[in-house]
């Protein structure tokens, strides 16, 4: 694989750009691999990458029923933060955030990481107490955050109305090293690196069954035939319970639509990410000038990649009170994704009742920010059978009552 560089760009400019290689190969599947990962989104590709980089396991196939990054990886609002309350959550999200900082250099691919800062608004006295508590917990966890007052909020984000009649701003939890990244680029960068290691990315290949013998996984049935494996990783956000059913076990989660939208592009007016959890709304401005807006999950289960209009309307109506200027904007695009949500609003990274089969799911609406940390920990779990990053996120916690409750601290399960 040729390295991307300023010199390479200049060289190809003189060649009419005829010397660029394919970013990743499009191979025919082999009969068997050491590891098969179902799902070529960010988490699946990151898992494969760290299996190769950290453990030298490169006989790997990443299977995707659609196109690479076409699921939730390409349908989110790209927020990156690690200011979670519970220790296991803060550890894996902070690992991800720290990896994001150097990911462009690591992958030799510009993921457009922007550490612009993330501000979570406190608009009730309950939120003020909760965020002060989180700031103290983050201090003990080694995560740099601070609680700031309303005047400091206004200084950081001048376009904000802090005196709204229903939703006044009383303060906020500020993480200066949070931010955003380009979601597609994250998937493409990992895919390019995996392909360079010799891994096979099999797009347009749907898994239709999981084969097993003597309580251990032996492979998967696909639309392109049977593919054998010694270890299987299920990383299919939105359809985890469907694939788990093929493997013969159930998951304690539900799948629900999550929607987002972008406005028409405007001049730069907001250089941070703002989350308003009281109204289930969050907003940032993209590099193209669009206001990127998202909210909470819909109130019903489903597998459709679009949202409900009344939920969208309520999110925008509440945000307009805090950001009056967006009332004049037109909506440019609207889309949805499918998220898996657990009872404690924390993910599942675990062995399963089927030997050699591992599950990575239940990230709710917070999956994008965790991609590097999730891949790092899940790869270690698959390679060694244990990882400190994933130890508390096992399936057995639901049976034993060891919940990692982020339903309030995470804010809209985000």
* CATH number (domain holding residue 144): 3.30.9.10
Question: Which of 340, 310, 313, 337 shows the shortest CA–CA distance to 327?
Answer: 313
Mean pLDDT of 249-276: 94
How buried is residue 70: exposed, middle or buried, by Cβ count under 10 Å (0-12/13-18/19+)?
middle
Scored b (16 or more CB within 10 A) or e, 30-39 reads: eeebebbbbb
Same domain, 235 and 100: yes
pLDDT at 278 over 90: no
Mean pLDDT of 125-139: 95
Mean pLDDT of 197-208: 97
- pLDDT score for 396: 95
Strand ranges inside 39-122, DSSP E: 60-63, 79-80, 118-122
Q: Which residues pair with 253 in a beta bridge?
A: 342
Same domain, 166 and 295: yes
Minimum mean pLDDT range among 14-18, 243-247, 311-315, 394-398 = 311-315
Same domain, 244 and 275: no
pLDDT at 411 over 50: no
Query: Which tokens is 86 given?
Result: 């519970």
Cα torsion angle, 159, 163, 164, 166, sign: positive
Which pLDDT band holds residue 312 (cuts at 50, 70, 90)?
A: confident
Helix (H, G, I), strand (E, B), or coil: what is residue 312? helix
Mean pLDDT of 9-27: 90
Same domain, 102 and 168: no
Same domain, 262 and 337: yes
CA atoms within 13 A on the CB side of 368: 27
For residue 169, being part of any structural domain is answered with yes
For residue 405, being part of any structural domain is answered with no
What is the pTM (predicted TM-score) of this model?
A: 0.95
Q: Cα–Cα–Cα angle for 239, 96, 345, nearest 5°?
A: 45
Cα torsion angle, 173, 178, 181, 187, sign: negative
Same domain, 286 and 302: yes
Q: How far is CA 40 from CA 67, 204, 358, 403, in A?
A: 8, 11, 15, 29
Same domain, 320 and 278: yes
Which pLDDT band holds residue 412 (cuts at 50, 70, 90)?
A: very low
Mean pLDDT of 143-172: 95
Same domain, 190 and 317: no
Query: Which tokens is 313 given?
Result: 């309307």
For residue 60, being part of any structural domain is answered with yes
| Residues 79, 284 contacting (CB under 8 angstroms) | yes
Percent of the chain with pLDDT over 70: 98
Same domain, 384 and 269: no
- Where does a domain end: 324, 342, 360? 342
| Residues 337, 193 contacting (CB under 8 angstroms) | no
CA–CA separation, 241 and 216 (whole Å)? 19
Same domain, 323 and 372: no
Q: Cα–Cα–Cα angle for 78, 81, 86, nearest 5°?
A: 135
| Residues 335, 305 contacting (CB under 8 angstroms) | yes
Mean pLDDT of 295-299: 82
Residue 275 parent element (H or E) = strand 273-276
- Where does a domain end: 342, 357, 389? 342
Find the domain containing 262 and state its range. Answer: 118-180+255-342
- pLDDT score for 311: 77
pLDDT at 365 over 90: no
For residue 16, being part of any structural domain is answered with no
Mean pLDDT of 336-350: 93
Same domain, 157 and 296: yes
**What are the tens digits of pLDDT across the range 350-362?**
999 999 999 999 9
Residue 27 is classified by DSSP as P
Same domain, 244 and 260: no
For residue 11, being part of any structural domain is answered with no
**What are the tens digits of pLDDT across the range 220-232?**
999 999 999 999 9
For residue 10, being part of any structural domain is answered with no
Contacting residues for 98 by C-beta, under 8 A, at least 6 apart: none
- pLDDT score for 309: 78
CA–CA separation, 238 and 352 (whole Å)? 18
For residue 168, being part of any structural domain is answered with yes
Percent of the chain with pLDDT over 90: 80
CA–CA separation, 236 and 221 (whole Å)? 16
Mean pLDDT for the chain overall: 93
- pLDDT score for 308: 74
CA–CA separation, 179 and 285 (whole Å)? 11
Which CATH number do you get for residue 242?
A: 3.50.50.60
Structural domain count of the chain: 2
Which pLDDT band holds residue 313 (cuts at 50, 70, 90)?
A: confident
Helix (H, G, I), strand (E, B), or coil: what is residue 12? helix
Residue-wise DSSP of 323-388: -GGGGGPPEEEEEEEEEEEETTS--EEEE-SSBTEEEEE--TT-TGGGHHHHHHHHHHHHHHS--T
For residue 2, being part of any structural domain is answered with no
- Where does a domain end: 312, 342, 372? 342
CA–CA separation, 340 and 256 (whole Å)? 7
| Residues 361, 347 contacting (CB under 8 angstroms) | yes
- pLDDT score for 413: 40
- pLDDT score for 408: 54
- pLDDT score for 106: 97
CB atoms within 10 A of CB 66: 13
């Amino acid at each position: 694989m040729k390295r991307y560089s300023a010199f390479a760009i200049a060289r190809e400019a003189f060649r009419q750009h005829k010397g660029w290689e394919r970013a990743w190969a499009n191979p025919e599947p082999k009969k068997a691999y050491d590891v098969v990962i179902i799902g070529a989104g960010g988490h699946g590709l990151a898992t494969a990458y760290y299996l190769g980089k950290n453990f030298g396991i490169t006989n790997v196939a990443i299977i995707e029923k659609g196109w690479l990054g076409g699921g939730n990886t390409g349908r989110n609002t790209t927020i990156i933060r690690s200011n979670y309350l519970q220790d296991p959550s803060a550890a894996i999200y902070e690992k991800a955030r720290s990896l994001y900082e150097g990911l462009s250099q690591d992958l030799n691919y510009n993921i457009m990481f922007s550490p612009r800062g993330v501000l979570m608004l406190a608009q009730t006295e309950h939120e003020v107490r909760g965020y002060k508590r989180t700031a103290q917990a983050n201090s003990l966890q080694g995560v740099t955050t601070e609680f700031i007052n309303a005047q400091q909020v206004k200084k950081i984000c001048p376009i904000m109305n802090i005196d709204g009649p229903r939703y006044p701003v009383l303060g906020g939890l500020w993480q200066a090293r949070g931010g955003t990244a380009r979601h597609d680029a994250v998937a493409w960068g990992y895919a390019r690196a995996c392909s360079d290691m010799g891994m096979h990315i099999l797009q347009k290949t749907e898994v239709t069954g999981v084969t097993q013998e003597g309580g251990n996984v032996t492979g998967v049935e696909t639309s392109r035939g049977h593919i054998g494996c010694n270890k299987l990783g299920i990383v299919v956000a939105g359809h985890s319970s469907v694939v788990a059913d093929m493997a013969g076990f159930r998951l304690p989660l539900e799948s629900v639509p999550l929607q987002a939208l972008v406005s028409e592009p405007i001049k730069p007016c907001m250089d941070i990410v703002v989350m308003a959890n009281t109204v289930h709304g969050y907003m940032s401005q993209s590099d193209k000038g669009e206001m990127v807006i998202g909210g909470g999950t819909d109130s019903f289960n489903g597998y459709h990649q679009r949202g409900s209009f009344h939920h969208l309307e309520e999110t925008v109506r509440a945000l307009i009170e805090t950001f009056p200027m967006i009332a004049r904007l037109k909506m440019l695009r609207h889309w949805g994704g499918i998220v898996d949500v657990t009872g404690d609003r924390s993910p599942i990274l675990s062995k399963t009742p089927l030997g050699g089969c591992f599950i990575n799911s239940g990230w709710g609406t917070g999956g994008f920010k965790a991609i590097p940390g999730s891949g790092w920990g899940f790869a270690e779990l698959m390679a060694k059978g244990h990882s400190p990053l994933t130890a508390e996120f096992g399936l057995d916690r639901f049976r034993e009552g060891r919940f990692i409750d982020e339903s309030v601290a995470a804010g809209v399960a985000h």
